[in-house]
């Protein structure tokens, strides 16, 4: 019998039992809908994190002190730091693939000024820091190479710090004290908000690296070096170049382990998105379970339906339907119901994830592949869970089926 005929019979039977058909589809609707929405939330947050990390600058190389191992004990990163400001100068002098280089020293300090006090992290950086991070100033100006050279006690405040200390007043030209050292505020950074993991990027004070080293931290070791490659394509070459220059600057012999480590932005992005990928997978798996339950629901109702429709099957068999006709009819019914459920589930998921994106701070992203996979999966469920009841219907004996009350 032709496929068209079978689907015609199945559709007739589905339409004549709207309530039963609707309930059967409901399981698949909820299953498909939850899979798509869950994955959409997972992927949405993944994309958000990636976007934020990439907004730190895509051509960025970061040089950290390496983890060291002394006498079998793994030491904390930076325990035996050998990175100095002279490394930055060497990089600038010998590198050909670098656009900007900035060392960074970080200390925590109590900041007193204006009408209050605040504890924040103070970052000593070079005058190229803003260009490297692609950050912007809200007002005032950034310090220059001269300020660095003369170790000027000037500071640029993050938005949060400026607000905590000075409220709505302009902090420009005001004097603040960081760990009892007086600084003059010369600028305020533009507001950047929280990172994907909830860190306030505006809770920061920026000062010349030389000033922070000599006045606040002491010593000559720096925490890390930011390097900005001239473009995205030369990122790998820049990484190799930085490695070579640093090894020469640190007078390392061939075969000796580097006492520093260079990471690119993309490596860090990958690490961060790995976490949210796991999250997406977990959410999807949980939702997948509900899709399976929906499939079992289909099998359940189809089985009940076979019993309830024993007489109908008997009639069909007695007027000349073959076993295969009945098998395909029931199979076509369950596949149609599950595909219909899949379709409605997809539409519902689009609506719900649109609402989530609109009314909450969660961002959602529906990937076409996810939609396609869950649609195909719902069809497979229809075949898988529809086969057993269909087989049962097809194997009925027409005499017994006709007598069934």
Residue ranges binding other proteins (CB under 8 A): 1, 5, 8-9, 12, 16-17, 311-312, 314-325, 398-399, 402
DSSP character at residue 252? P
Question: Tokens at residue 148, please?
Answer: 């660095």
CB of 273: closest distance to other proteins in angstroms? 54
Please, which residue, 320 or 368, has the CB nearer to other proteins? 320
Q: Which is nearer to other proteins, 50 or 325 (CB)?
A: 325
- Shortest approach of other proteins to residue 315 CB, angstroms? 5
- In the complex with other proteins, the residue whose CB is nearer, 3 or 197, is 3
Residue carrying the six token digits 């068999």: 317
Bridge partner residues of 61 (DSSP): 227, 264
Compute the distance between CA of residue 379 and CA of residue 75 in angstroms, rounded to an integer: 55
Q: Please state, in angstroms and rounded to a whole number, the distance separating the CA atoms of residues 183 and 152.
A: 8
Smallest gap from residue 339 Cβ to other proteins (A): 23
Q: Is residue 22 within 8 Å of 331, Cβ to Cβ? A: no
Identify the residue whose tokens are 């005058």: 127
Per-residue H/E/C for 21-63: HHHHHHHHHHHHHHHHHHHHHHHHHHHHHHHHHHCCCCCEEEE
Query: Using CA atoms, how far apart are residues 34 and 345, in angstroms rounded to an integer?
Result: 8
Integer Cα distance of 371 and 373 in angstroms: 6
Q: Which is nearer to other proteins, 51 or 311 (CB)?
A: 311
Q: Least distance in Å: CB of 399 to other proteins?
A: 5
Residues 351, 356, 362: CA angle, nearest 5 degrees: 145
CB of 27 to other proteins, least distance (A): 24
- Strand-strand pairing, 154-157 and 204-208: antiparallel
CA distance 360 to 316: 54
The values of phi and psi at residue 8, to 5°, are -65, -45
Whichever of 110 and 318 has its CB closer to other proteins, that residue is 318
CA atoms of 336 and 339, how far apart (whole Å): 5
Closest approach of other proteins to the CB of residue 283, in Å: 42
Instruction: Dihedral sign for Cα 289, 295, 296, 297, please.
Output: positive
Q: 243 vs 312, which CB is nearer to other proteins?
A: 312
Least Cβ distance, residue 318 to other proteins (angstroms): 5
* Beta carbon nearer to other proteins, 1 or 271: 1
- In the complex, minimum distance from the CB of residue 392 to other proteins, in angstroms, rounded to a whole number: 16
CA distances from 129 to 103, 110, 230 (A): 9, 23, 15
CB within 8 Å of 41: residues ≥ 6 apart: 283, 353, 356, 362, 364
- Comparing CB distances to other proteins, the nearer of 279 and 315 is 315
Taking the complex as a whole, how short is the minimal distance between the CB of residue 299 and other proteins, in angstroms? 24
Cβ proximity to other proteins: between 78 and 398 the closer is 398
């Amino acid at each position: 019998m032709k496929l068209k005929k079978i689907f015609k019979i199945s559709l007739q039977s589905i339409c004549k039992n709207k309530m039963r058909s609707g309930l059967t589809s409901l399981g698949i609707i909820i299953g498909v809908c939850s899979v798509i929405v869950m994955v959409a939330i997972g992927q949405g947050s993944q994309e958000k994190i990636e976007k934020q990390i990439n907004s730190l600058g895509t051509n960025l190389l970061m040089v950290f002190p390496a983890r060291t191992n002394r006498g079998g004990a793994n030491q904390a990163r930076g325990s035996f730091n050998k990175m100095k400001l002279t490394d930055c100068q060497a990089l600038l002098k010998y590198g050909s693939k670098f656009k900007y280089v900035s060392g960074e020293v970080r200390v925590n300090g109590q900041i007193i000024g204006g009408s209050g006090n605040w504890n924040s992290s103070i970052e000593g950086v070079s005058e190229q820091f803003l260009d490297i991070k692609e950050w912007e100033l809200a007002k005032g100006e950034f310090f220059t190479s001269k300020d660095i050279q003369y170790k000027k006690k000037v500071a640029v405040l993050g938005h949060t710090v400026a607000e905590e200390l000075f409220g709505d007043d302009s902090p420009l030209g005001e004097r603040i004290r960081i760990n009892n050292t007086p600084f003059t505020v010369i600028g305020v950074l533009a507001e950047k908000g929280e990172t994907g993991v909830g860190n306030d990027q505006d809770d920061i004070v920026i000062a010349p690296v030389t000033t922070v080293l000599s006045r606040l931290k002491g010593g000559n070791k720096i925490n890390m070096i930011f390097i900005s490659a001239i473009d995205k394509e030369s990122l790998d070459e820049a990484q190799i170049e930085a490695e070579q220059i640093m090894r020469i600057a640190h007078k390392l012999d061939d075969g000796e382990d580097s006492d520093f480590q260079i990471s690119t932005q993309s490596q860090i992005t990958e690490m961060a998105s790995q976490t949210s990928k796991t999250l997406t997978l977990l959410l999807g798996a949980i939702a997948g379970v509900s899709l399976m339950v929906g499939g079992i629901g289909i099998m359940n109702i189809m089985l009940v339906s076979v019993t309830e429709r024993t007489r109908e099957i008997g009639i069909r068999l007695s007027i000349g339907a073959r076993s295969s006709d009945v098998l395909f009819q029931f199979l076509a019914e369950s596949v149609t119901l599950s595909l219909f459920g899949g379709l409605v589930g997809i539409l519902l998921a689009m609506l719900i994830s649109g609402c989530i994106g609109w009314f909450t701070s969660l961002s959602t992203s529906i990937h076409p592949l996810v939609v396609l996979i869950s649609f195909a999966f719902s069809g497979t469920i229809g075949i898988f869970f529809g086969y057993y009841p269909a087989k049962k219907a097809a194997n009925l004996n027409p005499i017994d089926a006709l007598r069934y009350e």
